[in-house]
Structure 1
């Protein structure tokens, strides 16, 4: 009985001490991402790039609350897999961002679900990649709110040293079918 009480106490501590509050959006980070987005193609104006950047940061904050995020990511995944949280796995983040950005219908941008280590249970990771419309996938920018527990990570696809990304066209089709239902 004491052992069960101790486990419950430890679990309660982990759940309350590791809760993540949405990170306040810093203008400098919004600007930094906007500059990267603008640099995807000469036809993209800075104002549109800033709007896309701001939308990504706001969606990340919204999802942090919605998913009742705890840190680090592996702990949150454990809670989801144990049924103690409904969502918050990396593909939940990438799907939600993909659908939100597709809904905004930005004419200059294309949004691509992407993954690394596909099919490897402990290593698979999913993100959203943004390209200029009509440009190749590997010219894009990775946006990943899962990796740093609700803090939006972004980098050029080719500069992400942790992962080698591939486009997940299968996820686009699946997500668009879900969206229509």
Structure 2
């Protein structure tokens, strides 16, 4: 019986979705955001700070102390209420929108839509009226230490589309 439970636990852990990636410093995020056409410098600085700070707030609120995959397992088994990638994406999206930045548009994006084990959600910030391909992915879920970010075109793990 214990072998069966262990097998189920390991299968759920290995198949609990999404991937891990390293976090980068806030100053680097600011420079990455400033490279988006028509984004104001002061708004890029504010957004970089808020993205880093709010990611840590969300991780604390969700009680995320383990790897993202293990945390997914706890949520899927009912031991934790929130902390799946789409929770992070929707909460970060709402926070970015609340900043009321004039030159920045935020969009919830998804990769591998419809694939239960591989679907992943994040936020893309771009300039007002610009395509998401010109933006930067903000992924608060992917890294246990902080936020992952990259230009949409430089994110080698996912191909993003608007949700």
The TM-score by the shorter chain falls in which range?
0.7 to 0.9
Q: Distance in 2 between matches of 1:118 and 1:136?
A: 19
- Aligned partner (choices 62, 65, 85) of residue 57 of structure 2: 62
**Partner residue, 2:85:** 90
Cα RMSD (Å) = 2.2
- CA displacement at 1:150 relative to structure 2: 4.3
Give the TM-score normalised by the residue count of structure 1: 0.75
Instruction: Check whether the contact 2:126–2:134 (CA below 8 A) recurs between aligned residues.
Output: yes
Q: Which has the higher contact order (CA 8 A, sep 6+)?
A: 2
| Partner secondary structure for residue 154 of structure 1 | strand
Q: CA deviation at 1:46?
A: 2.1
Matched length: 146
Question: 1:134, CA displacement in angstroms?
Answer: 0.9
Task: Confirm whether residue 81 of structure 1 aligns to residue 66 of structure 2.
Answer: no
Contact 1:60 1:150 in 2 (8 A): no
What TM-score comes out, normalization by structure 2 length?
0.83
- 2:152 corresponds in structure 1 to 157
Q: Superposition pairs for residues 33-72 of structure 1, below 5 Å?
A: 33-41=29-37, 43-72=38-67
Following TM superposition, the consecutive aligned residue runs of length 4 or more in structure 1 with deviations greater than 6 angstroms are none
- Provide the C-alpha distance between the structure 2 equivalents of 1:150 and 1:92, rounded to a whole number of angstroms: 17
Higher Rg: 1
